[in-house]
A and B are shown apart, each in its own frame.
Chain A
Amino acid sequence: MIALVDYGLGNIQAFANIYKRLGIKVLVAKTPSDVRRASKIILPGVGAFDWAMTRLQDSGLRETLDEEVLVKKKPILGVCVGMQMLAHSSEEGILPGLGWIDATVVKFDSQYLNGQTHLPHMGWNDVEPRGCETLFKGLYDPRYYFLHSFFIKPHQEQYTVATAQYGVKFTAAVRSGNVYGTQFHPEKSHEWGIGLLKNFAEFA
């Protein structure tokens, strides 16, 4: 069973609907015991970094999540700001992140962005997985929906498991042990997203 962490941000129901279609069990986790019951965790997110961190702190789930992820090593997938929160900190805010992955979050440097549109990076872009990463198994030329101005910068290159191009090549997906994350929105990326969520459920 996969816990969809409900701390008031992100599209819980969109994840739930996709997993329902796939016949995979999920629960909307609002309490520590909900999180403990699950074997895997998804941390969604939309919004500014500090706002999302504040909402997560206020949810009362923080300690349980730390325990389940860091001690019990349950696989967790952070999405969008949910992924950025996995890092130590973000240029978008002043609050510390969860620090589950050795990384920081930085803003796109607009001097590398040509063309008439700069930020946010908004729309469908190609994602290039590195090697045969679990999340992208069986997905051919994947494209995903992005909506962000900040991206994660892992301190070790091997944590980057997929990249995308927007002015610069940036990290589109990360993995460090049981901690996974995607900058793009798999819950809003049609078949490529459904495939990725299925892979997380089956292979992570």
Chain B
Amino acid sequence: MLRPRLIPCLLIHNGGLVKTVRFSDPKYVGDPINAVRIYNEKEVDELIVLDIDATVKGAEPDYRMISHLAAECRMPLCYGGGVRTIEQFDRIISLGVEKVAISAAAIENHQLITDAATRVGSQSVVVVIDVKKTGLLRQFEVVTHNGTRRTGIRPEDLAIQLADAGAGEIVVNSVDRDGQMKGYDLQLIDLIRNVVTLPLSVLGGAGSLEDLETLVKRYGIIGAAAGSFFVFKGKYRAVLINYPNRHEKDAFYKRTGFQLHR
């Protein structure tokens, strides 16, 4: 049977891997290719790599780096960062990346999603929604450009529009929970899960395997993505790339109701 996906999410800043807290204070955690090699050995389900410089600097995606990552990955790779046009989309797919994530550009222009889905198939079109609680009422709002620009859009409204436009997957990223390692924002995830049926992955807040378990028990098939949890170990946040091994993962599936075999 199909299983939920446990997905490390790596952030790239100035050519290195970093981990942020609430989208700020990037802490250097290592070299991207080296991290991919370790995740290969750990047999991760899938990998998300986001270049957090490209959109804010208005730069082209770093195709050289993307092609190195794609070649190195023995698991599916989702790349995001600075993708604004259908041509960039094509080029990244032809480098051997399975999925391309778009955010700011897709939110401004849903047609990009539709065009990309027609060319490369909707299964490869991922839209990342960064969400922050804003205003006096602390309501969920979609933000872009590493959380610096407010859009005035509600995430659940956007999710419906993205699904209609032809997105293949939505990644919901909680800015407030980023790097907190205290659990996912289930209230936010509920909002999105209740309005769309397409594959959903969530990011922001995971700090333990129990957090992932809570998520999977609540939603079933879902992409449980995490940054800090898969790169830090212990309360002093020592950098140590980690991931459940095959045995731990099978135990995880069993606890969450996904039988081992068929």
Contact = CB atoms under 8 A, between A and B. Distances in A.
Nearest to B42: A190
A17 B71 contact: yes
A12 B5 CA distance: 24
A48 B221 contact: no
B113 to A, nearest CB: 14
B197 A165 contact: no
Interface in A29-51: 46-49, 51
Contact of A148 (B72, B73, B120, B123): B123
Interface residues of A, number: 47
A117 B120 CA distance: 21
Interface string B185-199: 000000001000111
A147 B75 contact: no
Contacts of B221: 115-117, 123
Given A124-B2, A165-B262, A188 B75 contact: yes
Interface string A119-142: 111111110100000000000010
Contact of A48 (B1, B120, B197): B120
Contact of A188 (B73, B122, B223): B73
Nearest to B197: A118
A13 B193 contact: no
Contacts of B74: 14, 17-18, 187-188, 190, 193-194
Nearest to A110: B197
B71 A185 contact: no
Interface residues of B, number: 45
A165 B262 CA distance: 9
Interface in A3-26: 8-14, 16-18
B148 to A, nearest CB: 31
A51 B5 CA distance: 28
Contacts of B124: 46-47, 147
25 contacts: A8-B94, A12-B96, A14-B73, A46-B93, A46-B98, A48-B119, A49-B121, A51-B118, A92-B121, A116-B193, A117-B197, A117-B199, A118-B197, A120-B122, A120-B123, A123-B199, A123-B223, A126-B261, A149-B121, A149-B123, A165-B2, A165-B262, A188-B74, A191-B43, A193-B74
Interface of B: 1-5, 40, 43, 45-46, 67, 70-76, 93-94, 96-99, 117-124, 168-169, 193, 197-200, 219-223, 261-262
Given A46-B120, A125-B2, A166-B2, 6 more contacts: A13-B67, A46-B96, A48-B121, A51-B121, A145-B46, A185-B76
